[in-house]
Structure 1
Amino acid sequence: MKKLKYLSLFLLLFCFGVLFISCSSKGDKKTEKALVEAKYTCPMHPQIVEDHPGSCPICNMDLVKITQQKSNNNGLTLNDRQIELANVKTISVGNGNFNHSKLLNARIVTNPNKIQVISSKFSGRIDRLYFKEAGQKIEKGQALFQIYSEDLLSLQKDYLLNLKQENAFPSEPIYKKLTEAAKNKLSLYGYSTWQIKQLSTANKTDPYITVYAPDTGLITEMTITEGQYITEGMGLMTIENLSNLWLEADVYPSEIKDLKTGTSIQIEVSGFANAPIQSKIDFINPQLNANSQILTIRANLPNLKGDFQPGMQAQVKFPSANKSAIISVPNDAVIRDEKGNYVWIETGKHRFAVRMVEIGDESEASTIIKSGIKIGDNVVVSGAYLLTSEFVLKKGGNMMSGMNM
């Protein structure tokens, strides 16, 4: 009897032990499961999701704990106050027209056809410089420098001698030809018609010659100083005529199909936005830039008033491409991330769901939607990013979960 009593007590204690272990095991599994599902995100940057507490790598705010819900529900339900604070607004989608115009950043560069390098046509010494530094503006025909040259002196003597013989023997054509040859040689060495006429009138040699500006422009490079000896062919200074400049813009290869030589464009130079300039594309580089993998297009930019300078930034606007009977939404309605493009749809009173969409061309204000929404859907056009943040904070899951990627 006593043995039976001890046996019953042993069995009772064993049962309690098994039950306690079972409950503890289930509790541990639930705790472990909760720990696994615990996630942390940043309220300001919901794309940051970690499985442990810490700080946001972007703004250093403390991460907020969220719990993933194992559900394919990709919707949200908000109250009136939340909708008001998030400034959520919707529009009903319908067929409409789409005006597509491209806006590209561009830069102003020097037109190389308007650059002139003043080089020495004979050896000598720079006796006087009328302009001594780069950056100075000059006018066509303005004196640049005076040069002393023994070579020039011998050319003058040769011309005056042949001219004297021509006058002494007017009936001999050989002297006339020699005089003309000497005159042409002076011209090739930089003498103007007026200077040659002055030489023949004075009948006196002069080892100095003044070189004049061949065109109006800006001195961009100066490589000589007063008293310097120069050799034939040596570059002395560079003059750039800024009355006509080039505008260069970069486009991706996929965009070049809409452009061709002669396409009209509108140019807006930074600081002169109220005075757009009409021009045309006159060159499309057939080769990609090896580093950036983009193409360069070019247009002429008139600059008769001299307002523009090389290095200025500008914008190029291409003509609109009109499309009708298409679905388009404002650009702010489309959320873009590494997983795809999506919009928020109002599915009922204060209820919203996310839809993945395929986008087409984009303009400054709107984006074409190829698929994902239909006519009559109410698309969120204001507050879409706040809805995304609220979704991540509440559900902590993948916004594309359950969608056909």
Structure 2
Amino acid sequence: MKNKLILITLTLFVGGLIGWLIKPSSNDAMKEESTHLHEESNDEIWTCSMHPQIRKNEPGDCPICGMDLIPISVNQDYEESPDAIRMSPTAMQLANIQTAIVSKGSAIKHIRLTGKIAPDERATYAQTSHISGRIEQLIINYTGESVKKGQVVAALYSPELVTAQEELFIALKNSD
């Protein structure tokens, strides 16, 4: 029993030692990364698509996985939302991305995809009512329905508005 325990412990120790010796040193990649972060920045830097922390000023191979580095532009100012996907023309060409103008018509091809469509929150507005009352009829049926200028959105009932309307009619009647 004692010999079996010693054999298991020795096997685990030797296996751990071999794994530690075979493992690539991450310190080299960290040192290389830190030196590249402090170098002068050009208009284009090169990074690994699998390891974005690797950044170089010239093309080459990723020190971690050996993949070819891809160029990215440093001085790009985007006013898009952080959820938007940004791709360079080279990356779009490599990914074979094609765009088309959206128009009404019959579908040419049916493709089933999963995804999530989020509205642009910068184009969303809220209207606050400054009177008390209730909505008696809601014309807009769902969130995201488009609304045009001057379109009726809801029918309201407000005792304040009814009183003000009656006062207006009385004032118009007395002015005649």
Normalised by the size of structure 1, how large is the TM-score? 0.16
Q: Which has the higher strand share?
A: 1
Structure with larger Rg: 1
Normalised TM-score (structure 2) = 0.34
Greater share of residues in helix: 2
Higher relative contact order (CA 8 A, sep 6+): 1
